[in-house]
Amino acid sequence: MSTKHLLAEELHPIIELMPNTDITPDNLPLFRKVGAEGVVMGDPARAGVSREEVRVPGADGDVRCLLYRPVGKAAGCPGYLHIHGGGYIMGSVEGSDISNIQLAARLGIVILSVDYRLAPEHPIPAPLDDCYAGLSWLHENAEALGVDRQRIGVGGESAGGGLAAALAIRARDAGDYAVCHQHLTYPMLDNLTGTDVQPGDPLVGEFVWTRARNRFGWESYLGTAEPVAPQVPARVESFAGLPDTWMFTAALDLFRDENLAYAQSLLAAGVAVEVLLYPSACHGFQLLPGTELTARFTADHRAALARGLGVTEG
């Protein structure tokens, strides 16, 4: 059954731009290569932002990150740990460069974007370990960076959103580093979504990130590990004490129902949650430039992050 008639007309080009070829171990290198070739880096100096590559100490060696800092900003600004998407198997910090430059400039925040190791070469626990190393470094270097430790948030898109949710759980349980806000854009939270056990609404998951791709992503990420929290956030036993949350999802996104279920569980635990759901949109729609929905998302995402970190948009 085709759901193309439910997709906003301005988003129809994404069907050809991102065809639903299954991802396999054999063609994964090609997917990564094509993704890397399509990356366009921004101009931080023009936006009044500095960008530098930093190496933070991790569980298995240094973790590469990109650090964004607004030039001339006074001390005491918020920090934001950003985690890129890509189904746990693809993507890079460079792919989020323009967005992170704009956020640092408009909100006056310090951003650390983590180039975590990818599955299947590096399954659980490596990706989350790398993200936790980034959070640790951001806290430990807060004074030198001019960051307020009490206003450090985490966030990301798709698998990056899943890792951000996992990071918030791990940080809560460890009790070493405070997280004030989690900013989750259609996060990848539940390994059962799209399987025979939990196939979901047939109206979701036709475009960009399909059931087959989701199964491959989770199988690659889990490896031989059990699907338990924090790496699989949907399996967490208690949602109490998790940070205030912004949850974004889309009507035709495969993750729609798992996102809404996660938000409901947070609400039931007394966590402050803002939920935003776009009709007629699919996973990854904002990767298509020049659409009204992309412009709307950019504004909504930025305004919500400003609220979450307690800043005023510039």
Q: In which band, very low, low, confident or very high, does the pLDDT at 314 lie, cut at 50, 70 and 90?
A: confident
Q: Which residues are catalytic?
A: 158, 253, 283
Mean pLDDT of the residues in the chain: 97
Each residue's pLDDT tens digit, 228-262: 999 999 999 999 999 999 999 999 999 999 999 99
HEC sequence for 110-168: EEEEECCCCCCCCCCCHHHHHHHHHHHHHHHCHHHHCEEEEEEEEEEECHHHHHHHHHH
pLDDT at 106 over 80: yes
Claim: this prediction has a pTM higher than 0.95: yes
CB count, 10 Å around CB of 235?
A: 16
* Structural tokens at position 156: 């990301």
Q: List the domains of the chain with CATH numbers.
A: 4-309 (3.40.50.1820)
Rounded to whole angstroms, the Cα distance separating 269 from 150 reads: 22
What is the model's pLDDT at position 130?
Answer: 98
CB count, 10 Å around CB of 311?
A: 16
pLDDT at 97 over 80: yes
Q: Which residues contact 21 (CB under 8 A, 6 or more apart)?
A: 27
What is the model's pLDDT at position 75?
Answer: 86
Rounded to whole angstroms, the Cα distance separating 162 from 141 reads: 25
Each residue's pLDDT tens digit, 261-312: 999 999 999 999 999 999 999 999 999 999 999 999 999 999 999 999 999 9
Cis, bond preceding 279 (omega within 30 deg of 0): no
Each residue's pLDDT tens digit, 134-165: 999 999 999 999 999 999 999 999 999 999 99
What is the model's pLDDT at position 99?
Answer: 97
What is the model's pLDDT at position 73?
Answer: 80
DSSP 8-class letter at 50 = E
AA letter at 65:
C
Residue 73 Cα distances to 43, 48, 50, 51, 81, angstroms: 18, 10, 11, 14, 18
